[in-house]
Structure 1
């Protein structure tokens, strides 16, 4: 079929709205009519990444309606509302069979090559290959995706909100609930209050934390953090964050610290601000040229855990429907994460906003399709 899509033609250049061809899904694939897709900062990273193959269709936060299914597909049927996961998993490797599906490596080779799981693409233009992004390419009217990327949602779930579940929402919520394992009555510090951080706050709130302390350098983000469940805020550019966190926890430090900032300095502060026996979870991606330094003296005596968390340790087929139902029950805030609703033709405006240091970054501009 022919469809409109926002095509990345050159590294770092604005996307171009063009008509491309999309072929039918294969046996283990699903054709989804995209109804909404968030514009994530990771899309900007891909746009500026010299390893991104071109031409490609970006976009990895999407939701829509199942239009057709391959012969072997059993998880969804035509007409289902689905949220899309950009990390499908194989179900048979060492990590999958032990329940750690977020660590499955099956998607990453094809992801870096710009293909689907079988190493080929369903996208073309004038007979030439067009590449996929994160096996989804949601900046288009339709998408062919792996079956394991399609998670059925309740019929009453609005799709603009649903589109956000598959990346920042699941990552932040999962960092608190899955990776950290926040417990009722515990104290939690969240470093970096962006699109992931506010959802880590929500996860900690839902898990029953007694104190949720948001740490950031932007006053506006700290104000927004309170709307999502933060009980206290710390502007880490104005005060000694470690001392402030100790003061809020009777001098012993927080039970859990979740770093969503991507800065090693924040992780080092998180470590020093966590009590003995506490847990530090790192969600943000570090600059590989940086070094993480934590005190070696007495390391064995403090009993702390430092761990990385990819995709919030999410199990999409379990976690996505839980988040959707909590939203429908009024327990999880998604409406406030939809910062703007735009047409595909205005996608470059959303990318431009990432360069505005005053722009609110705790949600997404969402592209909505009237296809």
Structure 2
């Protein structure tokens, strides 16, 4: 199949809109018609990373309609609406069988190599290999992805909003609900009010927290945080965060602190700002050159927990449908996270916006493609010879 895609041809270069060949899915793979895909800051990181193999098709926040399935696929069928997870798991390793699927390592070797799970690619141009990104490559009209990346959603779920569930939304929600395990009536501080932070706020709200305190350097982000459920805000550039958080909690400190900033200094402040027995969850990715320092004196007496969380401890087949249903029930805000809707041809405008400090970063630009799956495409791929 020849399709249109936005291709990374070199580090830091604008993406090029090119015609790319997509091979048919193998036995455990799914062909998805991409209807919507968010442009995440992680895509910019990949574009600027010399380790990203080129040429490659970026994009890891996607949703679409199943156009074909391999013969071993059982979780989805042709015509299903799906949100895509960029971290498929094996289901059989020590972590998967105990329910910690977010700790499965099966995806990372192929992910870093730019292939699918079997170490090969389905993408090419003029006979030359084109690499996958995060096992998805959603900046294209179609994608061949692992079955374990495809999560069925309700038929009434709009796909622009669904596309955001697979990364920042699930990470933030999961950080509050699953990693921190926020309890009803508790107090929560969220550091870093971006695409992950606002969804940690939403997760804390849904979990029943009584006070949710948004902590950030941008006044505009703090105002936005209130719309998503923050009851209080702290400007970390102007205020003594530890003092403010303790003043809001009768001097004890918050029960839970969730750091979405990726800065070790914020995590250290979070540690000082939680009460005895409290929990700090660091969901932001630290720069590996950074170091994290917490007081050693009296460590054993305070009973605090410091927990790292990857993907918000998300279990996609549990959490994606749950978030979608919360949205459909009017309990989870996704419409407000769609900052603008653009065509694939305009993708570089979304990348340019990341360099504009005045642009709102609490949400995503969403690329929309046609929701109509051509009948001839489905007919072509319903019966195919599996490639070994």
TM-score class normalised by the smaller sequence: over 0.9
Which residue number in structure 1 is paired with residue 384 of structure 2?
A: none
Which residue number in structure 2 is paired with residue 315 of structure 1?
A: 315
Which residue number in structure 2 is paired with residue 116 of structure 1?
A: 116
SS of the residue 1:258 aligns to: strand
* Cα distance in 1, alignment partners of residues 356 and 281 from structure 2: 28
Which residue number in structure 2 is paired with residue 365 of structure 1?
A: 365
Which residue number in structure 2 is paired with residue 34 of structure 1?
A: 34
SS of the residue 1:345 aligns to: helix
Which residue number in structure 2 is paired with residue 234 of structure 1?
A: 234
* Cα distance in 2, alignment partners of residues 293 and 222 from structure 1: 27
Which residue number in structure 1 is paired with residue 160 of structure 2?
A: 160
1:220-264 Cα distance to aligned partner (Å, 9 max, x none): 000000000000000010110010001000001000000000001
Matches within 5 A, 1:42-53: 42-53=42-53
Matches within 5 A, 1:213-228: 213-228=213-228
Which residue number in structure 2 is paired with residue 151 of structure 1?
A: 151
Which residue number in structure 1 is paired with residue 68 of structure 2?
A: 68
Matches within 5 A, 1:120-131: 120-131=120-131
How far off is 1:18 after superposition? 0.2
Query: Structure 2 unaligned runs (5+)?
Result: 373-388
Which residue number in structure 1 is paired with residue 14 of structure 2?
A: 14
1:31-71 Cα distance to aligned partner (Å, 9 max, x none): 00000000000000000010000000000000000000001
Verify: 1:25 aligned to 2:38, yes or no: no
How far off is 1:113 after superposition? 0.2
1:316-366 Cα distance to aligned partner (Å, 9 max, x none): 000000000000000000000000000001000000100111110010000
Which residue number in structure 2 is paired with residue 140 of structure 1?
A: 140
Q: Give the RMSD, CA atoms, in angstroms.
A: 0.4
* Cα distance in 1, alignment partners of residues 49 and 95 from structure 2: 29
* Cα distance in 1, alignment partners of residues 358 and 175 from structure 2: 27
* Cα distance in 2, alignment partners of residues 282 and 97 from structure 1: 25
* Cα distance in 2, alignment partners of residues 250 and 354 from structure 1: 39
Which residue number in structure 2 is paired with residue 279 of structure 1?
A: 279
1:79-126 Cα distance to aligned partner (Å, 9 max, x none): 000000000000000000010000000000000000000000000000
Which residue number in structure 1 is paired with residue 98 of structure 2?
A: 98
Verify: 1:260 aligned to 2:273, yes or no: no
SS of the residue 1:45 aligns to: helix
* Cα distance in 2, alignment partners of residues 220 and 351 from structure 1: 21
* Cα distance in 1, alignment partners of residues 242 and 343 from structure 2: 44
Verify: 1:243 aligned to 2:243, yes or no: yes
Which residue number in structure 1 is paired with residue 339 of structure 2?
A: 339
* Cα distance in 1, alignment partners of residues 257 and 6 from structure 2: 38
Which residue number in structure 2 is paired with residue 330 of structure 1?
A: 330
SS of the residue 1:51 aligns to: coil
* Cα distance in 1, alignment partners of residues 318 and 259 from structure 2: 24
* Cα distance in 1, alignment partners of residues 143 and 55 from structure 2: 16
How far off is 1:132 after superposition? 0.1
* Cα distance in 2, alignment partners of residues 269 and 296 from structure 1: 15
Query: Structure 1 unaligned runs (5+)?
Result: none
How far off is 1:15 after superposition? 0.2
* Cα distance in 2, alignment partners of residues 177 and 9 from structure 1: 39
Aligned structure 1 segments of 4 or more residues deviating by more than 3 angstroms: none
* Cα distance in 2, alignment partners of residues 272 and 354 from structure 1: 32
TM-score, length of structure 2 as denominator length: 0.95
